[in-house]
Structure 1
Amino acid sequence: MRTYGKTAAFVALSVTTVATVLTGATAPQAVASADPVPALDWRPCATAGGPVGQECAELPVPVDYRDPGGPQLSLAVTRVRSDRPDARRGTLVVIAGGPGTSGVQRVKEKGERLRQETEGRYDIVSLDPRGVGGSAKASCGLDPEDRELVNMRSWPAADGSITENVSRSRRIAEACARNGGAVLRSLTTANEVRDIDRFRQALGEEKLSAWGISYGTYVGAVYAQKYPQHTDRWVLDSSGDPDPSRVAQGWMANMAVGAEDRFPDFARWAADPAREEAGLRLAKRAEDVRPLVLELAARLDREPRESTTAGVPLTGNRLRQALQMGMYDDAAFAGFAELVQAARSTSVKPVLPAALAGPLPDADAAVSMAVVCNDVRWQGTVPSYRRAVAVDRAKHPLTAGIPVNVTPCAFWKDAPAQEPTRITDAGPSNVLMIQGLRDPATPYSGALKMRAAFGDRARMVAVDHGGHGMYLGNGNACGDRAVTEFLTTGTRPERDTYCAN
């Protein structure tokens, strides 16, 4: 069985949320001056396949930045030093997505390539945000069933009803309020931004350059708004709409459009005669792939198929979730096509993707929810969610109503402690956005809202390609070249530009 997809965080990048933020609206400069920044005790942590010379350390940060001398958390941080000291010009922070993705792991995967692309001009650094990877964890104490990705993400029932989604969302929110404590309440975008700036100070840098991916673009945008004087060359890769009244609720709603934008790429691939030899050609015409997948999902709603994972059948919603993950990267198409073919066969048991074969660890489930619920109070009542699902389900059957469905955020116990940041054109013109035209998670239409918010601070490179994450990933030589040139020389396109596939 081929592996495919990226484990979606609860939103798109995927995601859901929890409790009140402990951080107040204290000015960042006041916080920084009130608390001495600790030294970082670096140690070797290079692994096979990762960058040569990678180092790791722990960065203590306050649980509550209003009380910098109070309880502390430990964050895992990493760096890969420039291999050309004479060419070095600064430090570049990789801001991973999610919420819930490890920055340390991202550097292990991309650090060497990034060092080569930027020709040693940067020390490359990152951190595991609160609740992630090697950093301090939080817990909601959820039952295993509630930590199944296909349950954490609120797929409506086969008939479109959301009764079970409402019950589960309320139960999850109550468990997080009961068990999460101060650490869970501190999992916010605002705190990740503060933590990155504390990391900057610990590194002894006046400014940082950045490569933010997916949800990391929002973190990067908020950092650029809060600390413009500390930004150097700022790259935002695969951005969502930064509307401060909705934040992640808006990102999730936009996924319906993203799936519609992206699916034709898969349909053309799955109808290509080149798929015949591997047994992965789903139809002779691209236009027949969509009804085939939708009809199969409906059949699995009625008659789930036993999978190779005992007690975990392939249902219609598991197939739909696998499709969402499979559209993140062209390399994932084969895995989803193989799952479809197995589900259609009477003699083969489907092999579920790893992300759908068992529950998420409790800490991973907690962080994927807490950030987006802590950032902003979600809008809607149960009747309004029910109406929205009915409309969206009919309009966008590929996503079957999930993008506008109820989540635990609807029942979060505490209101956010501060308003989300509004992204504006106030600040240096040093932002380069790169965006795929057919992104299933952060669609181009939403990225245009981020571009408009930045005004003349930003330029955008639109890449005629599908998938989520363009630079050194799903993109093309033209897009990669534009980002690399900006990071190495500071030169951006004079105006927004386009890269053909």
Structure 2
Amino acid sequence: MRLAGQTAKVTRRTKRRSDGPGRRLAAAAVIALLPISACSARTPATSQQPGVTKAVPAMRTPASELRAFYEQRADWSDCGDGFQCAKIQVPLDYTKPSGERIEISAIRLPASGKRAGSLLINPGGPGGSGIQYARAAKSVVSERVREQYDVVGFDPRGVGESTPVHCMTGAQLDKYVGMDSSPDSPAEVTELDNASKQFAERCEAQSARLLPHVGTADAARDIDVLRGVLGDAGLTYLGKSYGTYLGAMYAELFPKNVRALVLDGAVDPAMSAIKSNEVQAKGFEVALKAFAEDCFLDGACPFTSRTVDGAMKEISDLLARADRQPLKNDLGDGRVVNEAWTVLGIATPLYERTAWPQLRQALGQAMIHGNGTSLLRMADLLVDRRSDGTYSNQTEANMAVNCVDHRYPTSLDAYGKAADAAGKMAPHFGPFVMWGSLPCAYWPAKSAEADKPIKGEGAPPILVVGTLRDPATPYEWAQGLAKELTSGVLLGYDGDGHTAYRSGSTCVDTAVDDYLLTLRAPKNGTVCPKAT
């Protein structure tokens, strides 16, 4: 999708760093699911087309064939600020463990007290850098937990420093991200279609050997190798947004190796890709309405109407205006602040309630003065675009993982109908999110399995955390995952923004810390009150 992750397309900087709201916002976006997609072509790819490779179904490899990977010695070295870095080797293809190897980059902050083990963390995306996330360990993980556990981050395969997927240049990504993903005419649909097909073709041209092997099942296998290298008998894990899917997949493949899993901002594996897009779009719509309600309590609220419906119409009018005539851009980089960049700029602050004042200001500049510069800056955080015009590989990795993990429609007509339906339920985000998955229709590596529930049978209690008004991973996803997991325990948070742990709720933080340290999970269905 176009909005979920980068925790859907955001920056690799981390959530809750102490160096300003922009950096916190970037990390909140890194914890999203971010399906940011763009456009595609005429004839959907099928497994019969030349050059198309099917992803290999999940399967177990005898432990004896993998023993060398589990027993490898990581060469940890100082990499600044008290952190240690290392690389480990894993098979590119777990069905051929004696074949090509790739490297996984990891980082750790040693426990400050008596060490009990390692806590692996993942910020989501897919495509978010776990290495950059771990750099903010002192704000991402409580002092109680850091005292006993090394905090370990890693870039999943295909991401960042771990054999990354590459597809396009910065200029090409500028054009792609700025494509009109809510087309109003057959010509705009064709343009979007062609761009989506081109995205897939460029990824195949540069990363063909990697694409079938960047799925979540293989990333979960890498986690188990990393667990073995770290010397932990059981995995202790904190995953956010897409990281919840990665953690749940680990429980499915290695239930007996689980010690404690916290899955915060949960994804529902059983939901189809198109249904997930629809639910996520509605989640952003709910968050936008919550922002509008809150806006009226502030003297700087830019809306001239005094009702939520009126405010939502003003935002619709702004998007229509940007679609007709781009907003002003003072950055001097040649980009036009059209509807696509404006939607991204509005969506980004919805990931974190503390960024709502920035959204009020940015909307005021856009609606009153026609200036979209602040919205463009926030959109850059979500897609992880740097000031020099280059991007991390977050956008490409996000698409690569999503397309190989899930089954997507392969006909242009199916996307059009789904976008129309989503637009009726979520007018500001529905078409944008739905059309954003179009490159998956042409992706050269296809999912070999349908979306289905993950049960994790045999695993100890797994804590699933959901925020009631989470825009990127709606609460119903957390409810679904907790029910599907045989040992799932649901903890809700009556709050706004994306994910709950370390977001201001003492209730949530205490429950998560107690579970990680003592394995005592809260009562299933507990809902923590809104933080004051």
TM-score of the pair, normalised by structure 2: 0.83
Aligned match of 2:443 in 412, 425, 443?
412
Query: What's the counterpart of residue 191 of structure 1?
Result: 218
Partners in 2 of 1:467 and 1:354 — Cα distance? 16
Q: CA deviation at 1:24?
A: 5.1
Residues matched between the structures, number: 485
Change (3 A) 1:226 1:328: same
Instruction: Please report how far the alpha carbon of residue 329 of structure 1 lies from its aligned counterpart in structure 2 after TM superposition.
Output: 0.3
Match of 1:232, as an amino acid?
A: R
CA contact 1:156–1:165 (8 Å) conserved in 2: no
Residues 347/9 of structure 1: CA separation in 2 closer, same or farther (3 Å cut):
closer
Contact 2:93 2:213 survives alignment (8 Å): yes
User: Is 2:240 the partner of 1:213?
Assistant: yes
- Percent of residue pairs identical: 28
- Correspondence 1:27 to 2:60: yes
**SS of equivalent to 2:135:** helix
Tell me the equivalent position of 1:403: 433
CA contact (8 A) 2:156 2:219 kept: yes
Give the 5 Å matches for 1:386-465: 386-405=416-435, 406-417=437-448, 422-424=453-455, 426-455=457-486, 457-465=487-495
Contact 1:146–1:168 (8 Å) recurs in 2: no
Q: Is the contact between residue 142 and residue 175 of structure 1 (CA under 8 Å) also seen in structure 2? A: no
> Amino acid of the residue matched to residue 317 of structure 1?
A
Counterpart in the other structure of 2:303: 282
Q: Secondary structure at the match of 2:498?
A: coil
Cα distance change, pair 397–73 in 1 and its aligned pair in 2 (3 A): same
Q: 1:144-175: CA deviations, max 9, x gaps? A: 234556347x7212569533221111111122
Residues in 2 aligned to 1:347 and 1:119: alpha-carbon distance in whole angstroms: 47
Name the SS for the 1:298 alignment partner: helix
Alpha-carbon distance in structure 2 between the residues aligned to 1:303 and 1:240: 37
Structure 2 distance, partners of 1:411, 1:28, is 30
Instruction: Report the equivalent of 2:110.
Output: 81
SS in structure 2 of the partner of residue 470 of structure 1: coil
Return the letter of the residue paired with 1:303: Q
What are the ranges of 5 or more consecutive residues in structure 1 without an aligned counterpart?
48-52
Secondary structure class of the residue paired with 1:125: strand
Correspondence 1:6-405 to 2 at 5 A = 6=26, 12-15=33-36, 20=53, 23=56, 25-30=58-63, 31-33=65-67, 35=69, 37-47=71-81, 53-85=82-114, 88-111=115-138, 114=141, 116-118=143-145, 120-141=147-168, 144-148=171-175, 150-151=177-178, 155-158=181-184, 162-243=189-270, 246=272, 248-272=273-297, 275-276=298-299, 279-283=300-304, 285-287=306-308, 288-310=310-332, 311-346=334-369, 350-351=373-374, 352-353=376-377, 355-356=379-380, 361=391, 363-405=393-435
Q: Name the TM-score, length of structure 1 as normaliser.
A: 0.88
Pairwise CA RMSD:
2.9
- Alpha-carbon contact 1:15-1:98 (below 8 Å) kept: no
Using the alignment, how far apart are the partners of 2:70 and 2:258 within structure 1? Answer: 21
Residue deviations 1:373-395, cap 9 Å, x none? 11233125211211221222233
**Residue 500 of structure 1: how far off its partner (Å):** 1.3
TM-superposed CA distance for 1:250, in Å, is 4.0
Deviation at 1:263, TM superposition (A): 1.7
The Cα of 1:94 is off from its aligned counterpart by 0.6
Shift in Å at residue 302 of structure 1? 1.5
- TM-aligned CA deviation for residue 134 of structure 1: 2.3
Q: Which amino acid aligns with 2:364?
A: Q
Going from structure 1 to structure 2, the CA distance change for 1:442 and 1:148 (only over 3 Å counts) comes to farther
Q: Distance in 1 between matches of 2:449 and 2:290?
A: 41
Q: Deviations over 1:104-144 (max 9, x none)?
A: 11111134652513262222212111232322222224572
Q: Secondary structure at the match of 1:58?
A: strand
